[in-house]
Copies of this chain bind each other. A is one copy, B any other.
């Protein structure tokens, strides 16, 4: 290894960080990728872990093995504590890293809008811990309901409130409804499933607001056929220890409240970088800080308007941003100008359960089974690692034919003990 090679530090092993590290493989730089966990998480399928379809290892791959053949990239598992933009140094809990180029791609976290009681009460759906906590809570509530003789308490245990009608909320509500409609009745003969209720609350006037209105309606119809109680125009007044309070003051007792109503960029750069909506950091059209051209900000953390629209928080944006940044770094090493980032919209999609999804690919608006098959194909393509893809396909096939969600394990202690 040549000590004179420029040092690139990448923070985050999400879609953006991994794509950048891989694309830098043949560029004459030494790369260190810092990630606080030891795995890359395929976040779009997190809700399938939370609803008992997939095992964690099917959507999480060790970062080191993903980058095994990227020989100019070292991996450091550590939490970044701060970034010194002047000294060009990243401070981590393990050791400090000097850089010539910094790529910040730490993603976003659930936004509880600074409400400590909401944070303590609701469960997000952004990382593996969240997903495992949701799976355990959901199943534990059925166990508790099975022996609960107090009707009011039983109803509270069996009311599941999902807040937020974006893709995460819609996908999770659909998966939970399928688990409840098709799998759990065979397990919990003691439970009267007429008492079970899945409620999806969205503040706006339709689900999936970034999709075409026709697809929003299709998703809603599909969820309602699955007996999900969809409430539009419903900005909850409060989330309490007991449950949720509706805009009209009605109190709905619910033990499990899932919060997917907001995400916020991880505040890694602190005061040194201009923050706009959702804590995202303002970047130039080449995805770097205006004040520090050697610092790139990617994926969910980056705020950039393209054709008057802010870049969405989606995997394709992150992946393309990572690849773009590698190209810009390579170009600078050859003394060339930065090219602007051009986002190629590959479309967006959301699944609402077994055999039904909505997809929007340019002018094409697709729903139903065709949408779902496209969704399945695309997700399998993006899943990191051949083994994961095969197992996931196999598991999905199994589930598709037998309506099963095999990973019904309660592996976390109950809340508060």
Say yes or no: is A387 at the interface (Cβ < 8 Å to chain B): yes
Say yes or no: is A139 at the interface (Cβ < 8 Å to chain B): yes
Known: A55-B55, A407-B57. A147 touches B94 (CB 8 A): yes
Q: How far is the CA of A414 from the CA of B411 in the complex (A)?
A: 17
Verify A57–B406 contact, CB threshold 8 A. yes
Verify A65–B408 contact, CB threshold 8 A. yes
Known: A38-B143, A55-B56. 20 other contacts (CB 8 A): A37-B410, A38-B140, A38-B410, A55-B58, A56-B411, A57-B406, A57-B409, A60-B409, A62-B408, A64-B187, A65-B187, A74-B189, A74-B190, A76-B147, A77-B143, A77-B410, A78-B147, A95-B147, A128-B409, A387-B404
Q: How far is the CA of A230 from the CA of B55 in the complex (A)?
A: 35
Verify B387–A398 contact, CB threshold 8 A. yes
Q: Chain B residues near A128 (CB, 8 Å)? A: 409, 411
Q: Chain B residues near A129 (CB, 8 Å)? A: 411
Say yes or no: is A186 at the interface (Cβ < 8 Å to chain B): yes
Verify B62–A187 contact, CB threshold 8 A. yes
| Nearest neighbor of A71 in chain B, beta-carbon distance | B189
| Nearest neighbor of A395 in chain B, beta-carbon distance | B391
Q: How far is the CA of A59 from the CA of B164 in the complex (A)?
A: 35
Known: A64-B187, A65-B187, A143-B38. A387 touches B406 (CB 8 A): yes
Contacting residues of chain A (122-151) with chain B, CB-CB under 8 angstroms = 128-129, 132, 139-140, 143-144, 146-147
Say yes or no: is A68 at the interface (Cβ < 8 Å to chain B): yes
Q: How far is the CA of A62 from the CA of B408 in the complex (A)?
A: 6
Q: How far is the CA of A37 from the CA of B410 in the complex (A)?
A: 7
Say yes or no: is A39 at the interface (Cβ < 8 Å to chain B): yes
Known: A78-B147, A143-B38, A143-B77. A56 touches B187 (CB 8 A): no
Q: Chain B residues near A382 (CB, 8 Å)? A: none
Say yes or no: is A343 at the interface (Cβ < 8 Å to chain B): no
Say yes or no: is A377 at the interface (Cβ < 8 Å to chain B): no
Verify B188–A62 contact, CB threshold 8 A. no
Interface residue tally for chain A (C-beta within 8 Å): 43
**Nearest Cβ distance between residue A53 and chain B, in whole angstroms?**
10
Q: A186-199 interface mask toward B, CB cutoff 8 Å, 1 = contact, 0 = none?
A: 11111000000000
Contacting residues of chain A (198-246) with chain B, CB-CB under 8 angstroms = none
Q: How far is the CA of A410 from the CA of B36 in the complex (A)?
A: 10
Q: Chain B residues near A76 (CB, 8 Å)? A: 146-147
Contacting residues of chain A (48-99) with chain B, CB-CB under 8 angstroms = 55-58, 60, 62, 64-65, 68, 74, 76-78, 94-95
Known: A56-B409, A57-B407, A407-B57. A64 touches B147 (CB 8 A): no
Contacting residues of chain A (7-58) with chain B, CB-CB under 8 angstroms = 37-39, 55-58
Q: How far is the CA of A64 from the CA of B406 in the complex (A)?
A: 12
Q: Chain B residues near A410 (CB, 8 Å)? A: 37-39, 77
Known: A56-B55, A57-B406. A187 touches B398 (CB 8 A): no
26 intermolecular pairs with C-beta atoms under 8 Å apart: A37-B410, A38-B139, A38-B140, A38-B143, A38-B408, A39-B409, A55-B55, A55-B56, A55-B57, A55-B58, A56-B409, A57-B409, A60-B409, A62-B187, A62-B409, A64-B187, A65-B408, A68-B186, A68-B187, A74-B189, A74-B190, A94-B144, A128-B409, A128-B411, A132-B411, A387-B398
